[in-house]
Amino acid sequence: MNDQLRLRRCAPGDEAALALVGQATFLETFAGILGGGDIVRHCAHAHAAATYRAWLDDAACALWLLEAAPGEAPVGYAVLAPAQLPLPDADARDLELKRIYLLGRYHGGGWGRRLLQATADEARARGARRLLLGVYDGNAAAIGFYERIGFRALGTRRFNVGGRDYDDRILGLALD
C-alpha cells in the first residue's frame, strides 16, 4: 500500500485537499488529548482551505502533497514557510516546516521522511541556515522521528487550542 504513493509540489487548486488532510490528521493525532469541540473549532480556522490558499499564493512558501494511487486521494502534505518561532537567535535565513502531516495508516513507509527531505532540499536551495519546527511536547513519536533525522531541541513555545495552552518543543536542523 505505502509504495503506491506519489509526492508532488502543490499548485493553486490544491487547497481543499490540503485542508482535508490537515483536518483529518489533526483529529487523528489529538482525539482523546484535546476536547472534540476545541478540535473542530481549531480546524475550522487553522485548517480552512483559505489558510492553505494563502500559503499557495505566497512565493515565500512551498507546499507538497502526497497522494495515494489509484485515485490520487490526498494522504499527507508538508508546508515550508518563513520562520515565525520565538527563538532568541532567530535569523531571517531560517525557514519553518510549518506543517508535515501524514495519515496514520501511511506511517512507517518512509513517506514522512520523503516529505521532510523535500522541505529540507527546498530550504537549502533557498539558502536557509536552519529548518525549524514546533511539535507538541506530548507527541513522543513525532519528536523521536525528528531527532532521528538530526533535529535538536532549541526552545519551547505555548500553543493555544480552545483557550487552553499546551507546550510545543521547538526543534531545528542545521542546513549548512
Distance between CA 70 and CA 154 in Å, rounded?
Answer: 41
Distance between CA 133 and CA 169 in Å, rounded?
Answer: 8
Give the pLDDT confidence score for residue 70 in this predicted structure.
87
- What would the pLDDT profile of 89-143 be if each residue is shown by its tens digit? 999 999 999 999 999 999 999 999 999 999 999 999 999 999 999 999 999 999 9
| Cα-based distances in Å from 71 to 1, 8, 39, 65 | 13, 14, 28, 14
CATH of domain 5-174: 3.40.630.30
Q: Give the domain ranges of the chain.
A: 5-174
Give the pLDDT confidence score for residue 51 in this predicted structure.
97
- pLDDT (mean) for 5-27: 97
- Higher-confidence residue of 12 and 162: namely 12
Give the pLDDT confidence score for residue 176 in this predicted structure.
83
pLDDT at 3 exceeding the cut of 70: no
pLDDT at 27 exceeding the cut of 60: yes
Q: What is the DSSP string of 79-101?
A: EEEE-----TT--TT-EEEEEEE
- pLDDT (mean) for 33-46: 94
* Phi, psi for 149 (deg, rounded to 5): -80, -20
Give the pLDDT confidence score for residue 1 in this predicted structure.
47
Give the pLDDT confidence score for residue 2 in this predicted structure.
52
The mean pLDDT value of the chain amounts to 95
